[in-house]
């Protein structure tokens, strides 16, 4: 799995999961045991193709501006 980091002047806090270019999940949940078990969070499942593509583009922009 490739991992990249933000620059020191930026913190990415977005949580995006895109599955097979067809569905996206976005929301406030951190991917930790305590967040999933103890926090009140909200997440959204998106199946509209145009929105999923926009989120993919957003992710690629974040990825391309990060460093290893």
Classify 21 in phi/psi space as left (phi over 0), alpha (psi -120 to 50) or beta: left
Domain assignment present for residue 55? The answer is yes
The whole model's pTM is what? 0.81
Residue 23 contacts by C-beta under 8 Å, 6 or more apart in sequence?
45, 46, 47, 52
10 is a domain residue: no
Residue pLDDT, tens place only, 11-65: 989 999 999 999 999 999 998 999 899 999 999 999 999 999 999 999 999 999 9
**Residue span of the structural domain in which 43 resides:** 16-64
Number of domains in the chain: 1
Decide: 26 and 15 in contact? Cβ < 8 Å. yes
The structure tokens 């999923």 sit at 52
- Asked if residue 43 is part of any domain, the answer here is yes
Please indicate, yes or no, if residue 50 is contained in any of the structural domains.
yes
Q: How far is CA 43 from CA 9, 15, 25, 26, 40, in A?
A: 27, 9, 7, 6, 10
Residue 8 lies in a domain: no
């Amino acid at each position: 799995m490739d991992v990249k980091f933000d620059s020191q002047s930026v913190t990415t806090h977005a949580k995006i999961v895109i599955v097979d270019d067809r569905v996206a999940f976005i929301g406030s949940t951190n991917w930790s045991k305590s967040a999933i078990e103890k926090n009140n969070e909200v997440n959204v499942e998106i199946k509209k193709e145009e929105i999923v593509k926009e989120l993919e583009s957003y992710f690629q922009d974040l990825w391309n501006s990060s460093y290893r």
